[in-house]
Amino acid sequence: MSPENDSAAHDIKTEIRAHETLLLYRSVAMAQTVNLVNAILTAYLDVVLGLPARTVWGWCALVSVTSVGRYLIGQRFFARSPGPTEASRWRTYYLVGAVVSGAVWGIGSTVLLWHAPELPVLVTALVLAGMVAGAVPILAPMPLAFTLYAALLCLPITLLIFLQDNSPVHRVFGVMCLIYFGAMLASARYLHRYFHAVIRLGLEKGHLAVTLDESLGQLRQAQRQLVESEKLAALGGLMAGIAHEVNTPLGVAVTAASVLEDETRAQAERYRQGDMKKTDLEHYLSVSEQSSRMILQNLARAAGMIRSFKQVAVDRSNESQRRLFNVYDYLQDIVTSLTPALRKASATCTVACEPELAIDSYPGLLSQIVTNLVMNALVHGFEGRPGGTIRIAAQVTEGEFRLEVEDDGQGMNEAVLSRIFEPFFTTRRGAGGSGLGLHVVYDLVTETLKGRIECRSRPGKGATFSVRWPL
């Protein structure tokens, strides 16, 4: 067994003893009240049956002092509320109290009745037997205390009965006392095992619940980290695609600028040497005009891509930031940032939205949702087939923003459709699928935006994701 398991087992054992100690002290007030009542009634009966009143009431006073002392110890226990590590000390106090109480009752009664008539002895034996029976549930959490208490109550009076042995009644009573004593010991042991098992089960259940809560918290934290990693990975993929896409217009612009530089240098040399002709100037002007136009067009194209990606990237990194934005322009920026992936899949993506539509919401979340839905269509809907069309539609109706992303891909069957929003569910296990893309969308829509998302799809008929959230 590992040190961790040893420590856990020791902790449970300590807690069990603490709970058993608490059970012992919870019944102190009731038990001592019963003790006092029994002592008074027994003393009264003994006096009526002819025993010396002074001796009997002296014994009753001793029982009363013992009971009050045990009661006060119990009150001190609850006032201090001792921890599990102090349970052993308080169990010792209780054991001593039980032994003293048993001795006062059992030995004291036997001494008191040593030369008494038969009837007081037998009546007292019945009273003590009843007290042993009543002590079973009270002292069961501590078997040693019950054993000593029961032995001190039963055995001295049983010995007295056998010593008197004046009739068969004495012998029957003596044997019955011994049988009763053995039966009560067995009952106490059984009840102790039951208490012990119940307490242990409760504690282990509590420890298991805590462990499960901690494990669940760790799993949720790991899932959140995976989701964040998925978002960053998607953003990194967009950045890589945009960088590759921007490289083409920048390359053309650099080439045009190089041609213009070479032509400018050549014409400047002709001018310095006085060899420039009209045709040279006209040629230079033509090259300069074409090169400048190519440079401006390609730089504008690159700047547009970078601007679109920059806006999308900034919003994605600040998803919780709310602002007023134009939906049509923003969707176009998102589509622009997805151009490399669309071109690689030979797919087209169109936006259907009022050009003036503006909403006060979270553009970063919209970007994350649209990007994931479009990429899901490219990866799963158009898998194994070139081309395809994706349509993004947006509108505001009855105070809700409604978004639809529709593709004409291969669609899904009912089994897949019922699980697409589950975390880590993917049909591309082993082929790079993480199963988090649509779960991220579902989490953003339902938890962050307090909206709803649905999917309609049939095999061979594409898929349509409908998203709506209140504005």
DSSP string, 307-332: HHHHHHHHHHHTTT--EEEEHHHHHH
Residues 339 and 201 in one domain: no
Residues 194 and 334 in one domain: no
Domain final position from 152, 183, 214: 214
Q: Domain for residue 19, yes or no?
A: yes
Instruction: Tell me the per-residue pLDDT of 309-344, one tens digit each, with 9 for 90 and over.
Output: 565 555 555 556 788 999 998 898 888 878 878 888
- Residue 408 backbone dihedrals phi, psi, to 5 degrees: -110, 35
Q: What gap in Å lies between CA 449 and CA 326, rounded to an integer?
A: 18
Q: Domain for residue 277, yes or no?
A: no
Q: Where are the alpha helices (DSSP H) in 339-444?
A: 339-344, 363-376, 414-417, 437-443
Q: Domain for residue 278, yes or no?
A: no
Q: Which two tokens stand for residue 67?
A: 């009971």
Q: Domain for residue 281, yes or no?
A: no
Residues 13 and 141 in one domain: yes
pLDDT score of 430: 45
Spatial CB neighbours of 465, under 8 Å, sequence gap ≥ 6:
373, 404, 405, 406, 441, 453, 454, 455
Q: Domain for residue 290, yes or no?
A: no
Q: How many CA atoms are closer than 13 Å to the CA of 63, on its beta-carbon side?
A: 27
SS3 346: coil
Residue 286: exposed, middle, or buried by beta-carbon count in 10 A (0-12, 13-18, 19+)? exposed
Q: How many CB atoms lie within 10 A of CB 317?
A: 12
Residues 209 and 322 in one domain: no
Q: What gap in Å lies between CA 225 and CA 113, rounded to an integer?
A: 80
Q: What gap in Å lies between CA 162 and CA 168, rounded to an integer?
A: 10
Residues 44 and 191 in one domain: yes
Q: How many CB atoms lie within 10 A of CB 318?
A: 13
Instruction: Tell me the per-residue pLDDT of 90-111, one tens digit each, with 9 for 90 and over.
Output: 888 988 998 999 899 989 888 8
DSSP run (H or E) holding 401 = strand 400-407
Q: Domain for residue 305, yes or no?
A: no
pLDDT score of 255: 75
The percent of residues above 90 in pLDDT, for the chain, comes to: 12
Instruction: Tell me the per-residue pLDDT of 35-72, one tens digit each, with 9 for 90 and over.
Output: 888 889 888 888 888 888 888 899 999 989 999 998 99
The CATH number of whichever domain residue 385 belongs to comes to 3.30.565.10
Domain that holds residue 398: 318-470
What's the pTM value of the predicted model, to 2 decimals?
Answer: 0.49
Q: What gap in Å lies between CA 253 and CA 206, rounded to an integer?
A: 70
Domain final position from 214, 240, 271: 214
Q: Quick one: how far is CA 112 from the chain centroid?
A: 65
Domain final position from 148, 179, 214: 214
In total, how many domains does the chain have? 2
Q: Domain for residue 378, yes or no?
A: yes
Instruction: Tell me the per-residue pLDDT of 399-447, one tens digit each, with 9 for 90 and over.
Output: 899 999 999 988 888 888 888 888 767 766 544 455 567 887 888 888 8
Q: Domain for residue 269, yes or no?
A: no
The percent of residues above 70 in pLDDT, for the chain, comes to: 83
Pick from 405, 390, 422: nearest CA to 468:
405
Question: Beta partners for 166?
Answer: none
Q: What gap in Å lies between CA 293 and CA 257, rounded to an integer?
A: 10
pLDDT score of 165: 66
Residues 209 and 343 in one domain: no
